[in-house]
């Protein structure tokens, strides 16, 4: 009786998906990139050893130069770098091991580069600033952390404050800019206020309305404002005086507008008590700006600056560090105010 043997036919290979093919190519690319990066670091270290060590033994120098020659040729030809990269690593672990820099040196260099870059940004581009009091409520709340653009008006010489100095200034602040500046009477601390008057302006403040007359003009212009039918309540404290959080004074909310820029300010329901001879009009010198806080009845600003008994509303342009751009943290009396994070400063 004959026995028939059955043979199983090999199953046809399934076609590979585009994703599978792409992932395989991506894996090969990553492997090639990793080998090339490791080889480049090894080649860089060997070149440094050859340059810095004139007394290197002749066989070790010859092997190193040959390995570098092969590496450079393969890189130029875009060929497989596995063997060449392995040979460079072998030389560093063998004949050249005593000439290598300590592995920690690379971390030190990376740290110094990162620290230098951070210092450059801090000195010339961006600087963090924390709001210590309620003079800019409602725009900025006590405890807000903001970033200040130090590059927008010019290039300031870092760490100069008495007097402040700039390498160059290519623009000045505009009306409505919220700026951080060095307090002008003693050059001792940083303040933050809103620019209302520009160099050469005449400023007038009456009945909760700001008027300005630009230099060379005869007509007064008003900062348009209107009272808002919204609740006005806030929590306040002065960190410089180590105050605890406390409710702010009863207030009213207003909207102000210059051109296309709009912001909110507040006024106490009970007007601030001022001496009868307190000025209501100020001349802004040609190299200065006039600033006010958005919490109009609770802000020490250009209106209250005095020098030798006379009004001194000048905030020199040289004292301005930069423009407030956005809030990046906002811790308040009841925790983090999440809705304020990464919001722009209007």
Q: Name residues whose C-beta falls within 8 Å of residue 37's C-beta, 6 or more positions apart in sequence.
A: none
Same domain (yes/no): 226, 258: yes
Same domain (yes/no): 174, 74: no
Q: What is the pLDDT of residues 39-59, one digit of tens each?
A: 888 888 889 888 888 888 888
Instruction: Look up residue 295 and give its DSSP letter.
Output: B
pLDDT at 9: 56
Specify which residues 235 forms β-bridges with.
247
Q: Of 99, 129, 151, which closes a domain? A: 99
Same domain (yes/no): 89, 168: no
Q: Is residue 334 part of a domain?
A: yes
Q: Of 33, 68, 99, which closes a domain? A: 99
Provide the number of structural domains found in the chain.
Answer: 2
Q: Is residue 345 part of a domain?
A: no
pTM, 2 dp: 0.71
3-state SS string for 195-219: EEECCCCEEEEECCEEEEECCCCCC
Q: Is residue 31 part of a domain?
A: yes
pLDDT band at 304 (very low <50, low <70, confident <90, very high): very high
Q: Is residue 109 part of a domain?
A: no
Q: What is the pLDDT of residues 139-196, one digit of tens each?
A: 999 999 999 999 999 888 877 777 778 888 889 999 999 999 999 988 889 999 999 9
Same domain (yes/no): 60, 133: no
Helix (H) or strand (E) holding 115: helix 104-120
Same domain (yes/no): 74, 151: no
Same domain (yes/no): 75, 221: no
Q: What is the pLDDT of residues 307-330, one digit of tens each?
A: 888 888 999 999 999 999 999 999
Which residues are known catalytic residues?
135, 193
**Distances 176 to 39, 41, 205, 329 between C-alpha atoms, Å:** 56, 52, 16, 23
Q: At what angle do helices 58-77 and 18-52 cross, to 10 degrees?
A: 150
Same domain (yes/no): 143, 57: no
CATH of residue 128: 2.10.109.10
Mean pLDDT, all residues of the chain: 87
- The whole domain housing 266 covers 119-340
């Amino acid at each position: 009786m004959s026995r028939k043997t059955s043979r199983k036919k090999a199953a046809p290979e399934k076609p590979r998906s585009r994703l599978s093919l792409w992932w395989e190519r991506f894996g090969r690319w990553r492997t090639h990139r990793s080998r090339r990066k490791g080889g480049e670091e090894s080649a860089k270290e060997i070149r440094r050893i050859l340059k810095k060590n004139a007394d290197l033994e002749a066989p070790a120098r010859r092997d190193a130069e040959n390995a570098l020659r092969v590496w450079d040729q393969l890189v130029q030809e875009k060929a497989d770098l596995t063997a060449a990269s392995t040979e460079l690593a072998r030389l560093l672990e063998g004949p050249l091991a005593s000439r290598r820099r300590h592995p920690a040196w690379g971390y030190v260099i990376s740290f110094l580069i990162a620290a230098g870059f951070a210092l450059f940004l801090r000195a010339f581009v961006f600087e963090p600033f924390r709001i210590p009091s309620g003079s800019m409520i409602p725009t900025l709340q006590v405890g807000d952390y903001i970033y200040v653009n130090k590059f927008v008006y010019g290039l300031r010489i870092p760490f100069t404050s008495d007097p402040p100095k700039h390498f160059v200034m290519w623009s000045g602040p505009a009306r409505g800019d919220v700026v951080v500046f060095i307090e002008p009477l003693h050059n001792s601390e940083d303040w933050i206020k809103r620019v209302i008057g520009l160099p050469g302006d005449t400023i007038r403040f009456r009945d909760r309305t700001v008027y300005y007359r630009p230099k060379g003009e005869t007509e007064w212009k008003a900062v348009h404002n209107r009272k808002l039918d919204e609740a006005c309540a806030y929590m306040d404290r002065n960190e410089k005086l180590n105050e605890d959080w406390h409710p702010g004074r009863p207030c009213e909310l207003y909207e102000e507008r210059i051109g296309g820029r709009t912001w909110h300010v507040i006024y106490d329901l009970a007007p601030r008590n001022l001496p009868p001879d307190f000025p209501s009009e100020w001349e802004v010198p040609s190299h200065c700006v006039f600033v006010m806080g958005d919490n109009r009845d609770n802000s020490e600003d250009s209106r209250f600056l005095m020098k030798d008994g006379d009004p001194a509303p000048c905030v020199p342009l040289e004292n301005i560090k930069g423009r407030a751009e956005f809030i990046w943290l906002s811790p308040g009396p009841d925790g983090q105010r999440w809705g304020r994070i990464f919001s722009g400063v209007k």
